Amino acid sequence: MTSADPGPGAKLLGLRGSPLALASRSPRRRELLERLAIPLIVLPSGVPEADRRGDEPPSIYVRRLAIAKMAAVTGEAERAGAYACLGADTVVEVDGEVLEQPRDREDAARLLGVIGGRWHTVWTGLALCIPRRGSKGSEVEASRVFFERLNPADLDTYLNTGEPMDKAGAYGIQGWGGIFVPRIEGDYFNVMGLPLAALRRLCLSVEGELRA
């Protein structure tokens, strides 16, 4: 499929061409884009995460990393024939503390203890460029999530699933972790790591079709 025939998914997302290069190894982001039948080239960026600078606000932090991931693979994406290149980064914030992916089982248990029984905010930064035109832009989305406090038995069972280990905040709302989320304010897909409505706004903006 060429940029002249991007397909319905890319068109509805706001892109005039495809394929889309995804600068991420996240299976959740890939799954969401594949659900939309968008042709993908997956190019993990290798940009280090857990790279917050001092008291850098989460909104600035995720935007900066998303831009860095996009920039790291833009050249490779263009050589591979990608029409556009997308970078993304997601973190969880509780009272100013930024929670990344857990380092190990013990750290996952700690993170689940931090978010348990309270609200937290999920921040995702997006960055998109169209290499052949040099146009680019970025977007940040925030959602609030209430996560139940886990008793020791449930915590142990959940950790044993392995699901918490590669996710910011140590849970996956689309999997077993969703059992413990009775309330959410904002974009559900943002909590998965790819806010689709925000991505559409970004695509339209970079394509020059979004009007204030």
Active site amino acids: 89
* Nearest Cα residue to 112 out of 179, 31, 24, 50: 179
Residues 80 and 126: their CA atoms lie apart, in Å, by 21
10 Å CB burial of residue 110 (0-12, 13-18, 19+) is middle
Residues 59 and 93: their CA atoms lie apart, in Å, by 10
CA 31 to chain centre: 12
Task: State the pairing for strand pair 118-130/135-147.
Answer: antiparallel
Measured from the Cβ of residue 173, the count of other Cβ atoms closer than 10 Å reads 24
Q: 52, 96 in Cβ contact below 8 A?
A: no
Measured from the Cβ of residue 5, the count of other Cβ atoms closer than 10 Å reads 10
Residues 67 and 176: their CA atoms lie apart, in Å, by 31
